[in-house]
Amino acid sequence: MQTLTIIKPDAVAGGKAGKVLAHLEAAGFVVRAARMTRLSRAQAEAFYEVHKGRPFFDSLCTFMTSGPCIPMVLERADAVAHLRKAIGATDPAQAEPGTIRKLFAESKERNAIHASDSEDNAKREIGFFFAESELKGNWA
Ligand code: GDP
């Protein structure tokens, strides 16, 4: 099963991208696709459209466009649930010890990593960043 993650701009700018990826690989995820990109405002607003109208929407989009991020397709058994567990709660102050957000997040907004929260959203979010052809590489 596949899911989508994004190493967010705070983690990339803070030089933590490699550590986050090492943590993901140690948790049994295989990287099936990856790229570094800087989201446009329109892309950030479309990606987070479910949060449109929330008080933090504008600030979230400003943060997500503030620098490069690294979207990746990750694969392992039960990928969506395992990744949500590996990243920890949205607010690092609430996250379990050993989770990526507990280890690397700066704040509830600048929280190092995104992970799809359902299988349906994983499909949508993978399609948001990657073409079908990019998901069928030499590894298949
Ligand atoms: P996630 O699934 O754990 O990433 O959390 P949500 O889907 O609820 O929120 C999406 C993203 O918006 C989070 O990862 C944070 O970057 C940001 N965010 C969520 N809640 C808040 C909040 O209360 N304040 C601020 N400033 N940002 C938030």
Tens digit of each residue's pLDDT (9 = 90 or more) over 77-115: 999 999 999 999 999 999 999 999 999 999 999 999 999
CATH code for the structural domain at 2-132? 3.30.70.141
Q: What is the pTM of this model?
A: 0.97
The whole-chain average pLDDT of the chain stands at 96
- What is the distance in A from the centroid of ligand 1 to the CA of 133? 31
| Alpha carbon distance 63, 77 (integer Å) | 31
The preferred substitution site among 56, 80, 83, 94 for testing ligand 1, maximizing ligand atoms within 8 Å of CB, is 56
Region 18-42 average pLDDT: 98
Residue 136: pLDDT above 80? no
pLDDT band at 137 (very low <50, low <70, confident <90, very high): low
Model pLDDT, residue 18: 98
Q: Is the CB of 107 under 6 A from ligand 1?
A: no
Region 124-134 average pLDDT: 96
Sorted by where each begins, the domain ranges of the chain are 2-132
